[in-house]
Chain A
């Protein structure tokens, strides 16, 4: 989160566009900037189960970062055309096609307004218009933050559908939860996955390579990201924010 935020601040000063792909060292839940967590997810239970919870600066709803690939895009707001959210989703579609996945964008009629209780729904419970779906089910969830002339878009592409893990963090969850690895294999209706689409699970590296190829198809001069001293310093200064429980559990 801190490095993505730092890249946003760099994009405010430069014309640089960056795509990052990454995986998480252990299953972690991220929630949206404004999403209500207090009374929805059980902080003590998450701690007992050893599942870190972080709050993104971007919008959207809760995601389990377990069997998925996370991406971030940072850019000046105007660098990706008049509709940057759609431009990034088309980049993802290109990458997915390179993996052999026939995905599409959900029609605008899929628009959802997660008011009230629905705001607590997981990200993958429903596809909004413009999000990436296969067979009508959500494969990638994305959310953006536009701040002072730059944007940060976060997204998650499911390799396997392990989003059911979220239900174990609700206060009324009955589980004595087994190992997290067990939860990875729970079938969840409503979400798609790369395994379901391909009949196999690509590695994080496969997905990252496909995304990089899609970037190079648009910009042959694209170069690998180098985290220089200044970027590292900025990220370090922001790290405390995202590690602070008063941010994570602020509402």
Chain B
């Protein structure tokens, strides 16, 4: 199995989502390189409309790979302020660039302290046995 890419500047969940915090109080959410590798070829991503309130650890969408549909879980609570417009036509971006063009949603984080419950890169690497 190829080694998973785990950027040091992101936060992670045990459900294999990542959170990229921005200075303006928003954060991008996506699935990790490990997750996309486990899922296989992504064929569809279903995301909530802008304005939707998402709750930490609750399902905010689904992602379909060739073999299975899986839930997408929010790392923290907040409001969806943007969804990745390219994924409807190019779901494979989640496979090819999960931390870049394959991001899923951007949320306005409800409570900045909530990040304290997330994993750093080293802890996430341990969690997936990397």
B123 within 8 A of A: no
Contacting residue for A147 out of B40, B43, B65, B71, CB 8 A: B71
CB atoms of A59 and B68 under 8 A apart: yes
CB neighbours of B66 from chain A (8 A): 111-113, 128-129
The answer on a CB contact under 8 Å between B89 and A144 is no
The residues of A that contact B79 with a CB separation of less than 8 Å are none
Q: Which residue on chain B has the smallest CB distance to residue A85?
A: B67
What separation, in Å, do the CA atoms of A59 and B91 have in the docked complex?
15
Tell me the residues in window 23-77 of chain B with beta carbons closer than 8 Å to chain A beta carbons: 40-41, 43-44, 46, 59, 62, 64-71
Q: Tell me whether A143 is interfacial, beta carbon within 8 Å.
A: yes
Is A136 engaged at the interface, CB distance under 8 Å to the other chain? no
B69 touches A59 (CB 8 A): yes
Interface residues in B, total, Cβ within 8 A: 19
Residues B46 and A115 in contact, CB atoms below 8 Å apart: no
Chain A 142-182 interface 0/1 with B at a Cβ cutoff of 8 Å (1 = within): 01111110010000000000000000000000000000000
Q: Please, how many angstroms separate the alpha-carbon atoms of A66 and B17 in the complex?
A: 40
Please name all residues of chain A whose beta carbon is closer than 8 Å to the beta carbon of B69 when the two chains form the complex. Answer: 33-34, 57-59, 143-146
Please count the residue pairs between chain A and chain B whose beta carbons lie under 8 angstroms apart in the complex: 60
Give which listed residue, A114, A115, A144, contacts B68 with CB less than 8 A.
A144
Q: Interface size for chain A: under 10, 10 to 19, 20 to 34, or 35 or more residues? A: 20 to 34
A149 to B8, CA, bound (A): 29
A33 with B62: CB separation less than 8 A: yes
A interface, over-half SS: loop
CB pair A143 B41 closer than 8 Å: no
The one of A111, A119, A148 that contacts B40, using a Cβ cutoff of 8 Å: A111
Complex formed: what's the CA distance from A128 to B65 in Å?
11
Verify A130–B44 contact, CB threshold 8 A.
no
Q: Mark A31-71, 1 if CB is under 8 A from B, else 0.
A: 01110000000000000000000000111000000000000
Contact status of A114 and B43, CB under 8 A, knowing A33-B64, A34-B64, A59-B64 = yes
Our pick among B41, B59, B62 for the contact of A113 (Cβ within 8 Å) is B41
Minimum distance in angstroms from A128 CB to a CB of chain B: 5
In the assembled complex, B92 has its CB within 8 A of some CB on chain A: yes
Interface residues of B, Cβ cutoff 8 Å to A: 40-41, 43-44, 46, 59, 62, 64-71, 89-92
16 contacts between A and B (CB under 8 A): A34-B43, A34-B46, A59-B43, A59-B44, A59-B69, A85-B67, A111-B41, A112-B41, A113-B66, A115-B89, A115-B90, A115-B92, A128-B67, A129-B66, A144-B68, A148-B59
6 tightest Cβ-Cβ pairs between the two chains A and B: A144-B68, A34-B44, A59-B69, A59-B64, A145-B69, A113-B41
